[in-house]
């Protein structure tokens, strides 16, 4: 006979297995991230992120991991850029690659046409 305790236990175990499987599959599909300090499961680098004088810690990490560093806190990824060169390269020169807004070509053509017809 199935008891409530055994049903609850099997539900919790199956949920945990599904979460672990989902995390592993999700990591395989992502592109590789920059290097950074190794975090703990689930909380990531929660205890590594400084609350005061963060630039000192980031400068130390820069010497160890390079100008582009990745940290993860509670599943949220953050990329830290430690030099003007890295910031210029990623945010200015390659901004179209990292922008999450799609280009609205049809909107641009339509807006230019409307503006030209009204002037």
* Cα dihedral 106, 109, 110, 116 in deg (nearest 10): 180
- Strand-pair partners of 33: none
- Distance, CA of 72 to CA of 58 (rounded, Å): 14
pLDDT higher than threshold 70 for residue 43: yes
pLDDT digits (tens, 9 = 90+) for 31-41: 788 888 888 88
Token pair for 80: 């830290």
pLDDT digits (tens, 9 = 90+) for 59-86: 899 999 988 999 988 888 888 888 888 8
| pTM as predicted | 0.56
């Amino acid at each position: 006979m199935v008891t409530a305790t055994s049903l609850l236990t099997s539900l919790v175990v199956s949920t945990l297995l599904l979460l672990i499987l989902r995390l592993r599959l999700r990591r395989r599909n992502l592109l590789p991230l920059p290097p950074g300090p190794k975090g703990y499961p689930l909380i990531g680098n929660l205890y590594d992120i400084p609350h005061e004088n963060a630039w000192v810690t980031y400068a130390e990490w820069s010497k160890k991991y390079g100008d582009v560093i990745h940290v993860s806190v509670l599943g949220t990824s953050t990329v830290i850029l430690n030099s003007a060169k890295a910031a210029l390269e990623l945010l200015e020169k390659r901004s179209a690659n990292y922008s999450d807004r799609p280009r609205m070509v049809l909107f641009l053509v339509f807006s230019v046409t409307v503006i030209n017809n009204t002037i």
